[in-house]
Structure 1
Amino acid sequence: MIYIKNVLGSGSSYSVNKSTLVGYNHVNRGEAVRCLQIFLNRFNNNLGLAVDGIFGSNTHTQLIRFQSFANLSTDAICGRNTWNAFLQRYSGA
């Protein structure tokens, strides 16, 4: 399980199971997508990706960018390997 606490100082917290698949044909709304968006913003130095819990075109594009950077399959699906790559890079999340 991945826990992200006090998002942007708001006091909000989110969690997601590392086996959760996030993408267009998988989980594409809700808390798991918010967790992904938070990690993508960290990767991109707070690029301003909306943390709205909706897997849209901007989230899709930034996920592929991260997967390429992390030498993962650029399938635009955030699954166990992508979650683990985020955790290795941002263990303080």
Structure 2
Amino acid sequence: MNNARASDPITSVIAGERAALFAGNHYDRILAALADDLNPPVWGGMTAGEMARATGMSVEQVCRRLPELQARGQVQVVQFEGEDLLRNGYRVWEAV
């Protein structure tokens, strides 16, 4: 995956290349947290903030990976009455 533009400085290109190395670890940590979400208070899915606390990652790292995991068919936003389920204003995600 290319995470840098041709006009980006070399430091950004290097950072983009390194991101691919730990993305898999992030996926695994997020999926493990969602698999363990059967314990209150996060039963029924987790928000990105809850996943960040459970995984030791930053919210930004989690938010970056969720759409990627969704595109891979591994997570989805919890639906309630045809709408995205929100908790404290944030979408709730679950493993598929």
- Tell me, yes or no, whether TM beats 0.5: no
Identify which of structures 1 and 2 has the higher relative contact order when contacts are C-alpha pairs closer than 8 Å and 6+ apart.
Answer: 1
Give 1 or 2: higher strand fraction.
Answer: 2
Bin the TM-score by the shorter chain: 0.3 to 0.5
Structure with larger Rg: 2
